[in-house]
């Protein structure tokens, strides 16, 4: 079906190029397509090629001349008995734990806040604006503030926990050692939950009010309304939201990089920073690329399974 048919009838008189018209959708897509090719798709293919090369700093100036390495980079990456593979596996597991906790908490807090703020009450608009501040702040500004708060000697966290409440015996280190996981998770949830809040809030506006009115006339309580109306209506929104949160959190580089710099403590060694460190600090780009490809394959697999599961769920539900 040609939506442009009325215009096309008088087209030839004013526009000599009739062919341009048929090609118009492609012409409109061209800039986006070219840019995606240049910045994402071509580099990705080059990245895959690089993962099969022995690409150390000696070859980086003219990477085409680097010798082929076959699957060596991959076998080094997944040899979990050797230091490189073991470190990658540890980093992967840390990232999984971190992502699941962060996404779960972001979703929970965001949904709870959106549901609680569905009704109007005094100060609702102000509160909503306030809640979006962590999302609006540039990552580095927000994370640097948390780094200051987590300082051992002059930070707020130790001052409150140790000096004021006396919960810890002595001031703790938050940015090194095992505590760094908690610190990273806190910052990630603080930055991430407003996005869930925003999306769920938008989703809630599409639920017809009559549903709630009918339910409350039938004597359904608040909790029942949330369980029977709100959550099922949000299902399609949540399916996308959780996937997006998962991918963003799993690939997050900005937060750990600003918090810990080029080398993160083991407990908070997220995979993006780990690969960055493997490539740019040790100058082994072949292995770094192989690790990136493995990460991409994992994300593709997870996304595929997730979409298959959720779309089947949607089909049986409807």
Partner 1 sequence: MSLPRSPMAPPRSFLWSRRVFLTLLTGFVLVPVYVMISSSLKPLADVTGTFRWLPTELTIRPYIDIWSTVPLGRYFVNSLIVAGAATVCSVVIAVFSAYAVSRYDFRGKRVFTVTVLSTQMFPGILFLLPLFLIYVNIGNATGIALFGSRGGLILTYLTFSLPFSIWMLIGYFDSVPRDLDEAAMVDGCGPLGALFRVVVPAAVPGIVAVAVYAFMTAWGEVLFASVMTNDTTRTLAVGLQGYSTLNDVYWNQIMAASLVVSVPVVAGFLLLQRYLVAGLTAGAVK
Q: Map the footprint of partner 1 across residues 171-230, applying CB under 8 A.
A: 190, 198-199, 201-203, 205-206, 209, 212-213, 215-217, 221-222, 225
Q: Report CA-CA distances (Å) from 224 to 42, 269, 277.
A: 51, 42, 50
Per the CB < 8 A criterion, the answer to whether 264 and 180 are in contact is yes
Query: Any contact of residue 231 with partner 1 (CB under 8 A)?
Result: no
Q: What is the DSSP letter of 258?
A: H
Report if residue 118 touches partner 1, rule: CB under 8 A: yes
Q: How far is the CB of 85 from partner 1 (least distance, A)?
A: 18
164's tokens: 């004021």
Phi-psi region of 68 (alpha: psi -120 to 50; beta: other; left: phi over 0): beta
Task: Work out whether 6 is an interface residue with partner 1 (CB under 8 A).
Answer: yes
Touching partner 1, residues 12-31 (CB under 8 A):
14-15, 21, 24-26, 28-29, 31
* Smallest gap from residue 94 Cβ to partner 1 (A): 16
Q: Does 33 bind partner 1 (CB under 8 A)?
A: yes
Stretch (H or E) spanning 190: helix 179-204
Site size with partner 1, rule: CB under 8 A: 111
Whether residue 309 contacts residue 300, with contact meaning beta carbons closer than 8 Å, is answered with: no
Question: Across the strands, what pairs with 68?
Answer: 53
Tell me if 56 contacts partner 1 by CB under 8 A. no
Give the dihedral sign, CA 244/247/249/252: negative
Nearest approach, Cβ of residue 90 and partner 1 (Å): 17
Binding residue for partner 1, selected from 89, 134, 173, 239, defined by CB under 8 A: 134
When binding is defined by CB under 8 A, the residue of 253, 266, 306, 310 that contacts partner 1 is 253
Name the residue nearer to partner 1 (CB basis): 10 or 81.
10
Closer Cβ to partner 1, 75 or 216, answer by number: 216
Q: Does 74 bind partner 1 (CB under 8 A)?
A: no
Site for partner 1 in 261-280 (CB under 8 A): 271-272, 275-276, 279-280
- DSSP letter assigned to residue 230: I
DSSP string, 86-134: HHHHHHHHHHHHHHHHHHHHHHHHHHHHHHHTSS--TTHHHHHHHHTHH
Nearest-approach distance from CB 59 to partner 1, in angstroms: 11
Tell the smallest beta-carbon distance from residue 266 to partner 1 (Å): 19
Q: Decide if residue 96 touches partner 1 (CB under 8 A).
A: no
Among 14, 76, 123, which Cα is nearest to 286's? 76
């Amino acid at each position: 079906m040609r939506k442009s048919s009325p215009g096309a009838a008088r087209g030839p008189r004013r526009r000599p190029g009739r062919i341009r018209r048929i090609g118009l959708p492609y012409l409109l897509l061209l800039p986006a397509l070219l840019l995606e090719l240049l910045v994402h798709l071509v580099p990705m293919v080059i990245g895959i090629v690089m993962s099969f090369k022995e690409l150390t700093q000696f070859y980086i100036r003219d990477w085409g001349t680097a010798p082929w390495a076959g699957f060596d980079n991959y076998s080094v990456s997944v040899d979990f008995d050797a230091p490189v593979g073991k470190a990658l596996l540890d980093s992967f597991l840390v990232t999984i734990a971190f992502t699941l906790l962060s996404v779960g908490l972001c979703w929970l807090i965001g949904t709870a806040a959106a549901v609680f703020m569905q009704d109007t009450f005094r100060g609702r608009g102000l509160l909503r604006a306030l809640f979006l501040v962590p999302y609006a702040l540039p990552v580095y500004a927000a994370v640097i503030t948390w780094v200051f708060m987590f300082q051992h000697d002059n930070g707020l966290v130790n001052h409150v926990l140790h000096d004021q409440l006396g919960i810890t015996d002595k001031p703790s280190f938050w940015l090194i050692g095992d505590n760094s996981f908690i610190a990273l998770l806190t910052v990630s949830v603080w930055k991430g939950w407003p996005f869930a809040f925003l999306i769920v809030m938008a989703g809630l506006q599409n639920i017809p009010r009559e549903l709630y009115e009918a339910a409350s006339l039938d004597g359904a309580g608040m909790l029942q309304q949330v369980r029977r109306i709100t959550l099922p209506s949000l299902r399609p929104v949540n399916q996308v939201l959780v996937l997006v949160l998962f991918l963003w959190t799993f690939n997050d580089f900005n937060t750990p990089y600003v918090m810990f710099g080029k080398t993160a403590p083991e407990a908070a060694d997220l995979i993006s920073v780990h690969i960055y460190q493997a490539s740019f600090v040790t100058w082994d780009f072949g292995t770094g690329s192989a690790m990136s490809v493995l990460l991409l394959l994992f994300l593709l697999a997870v996304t595929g399974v997730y979409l298959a599961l959720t779309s089947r769920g949607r089909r049986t539900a409807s």
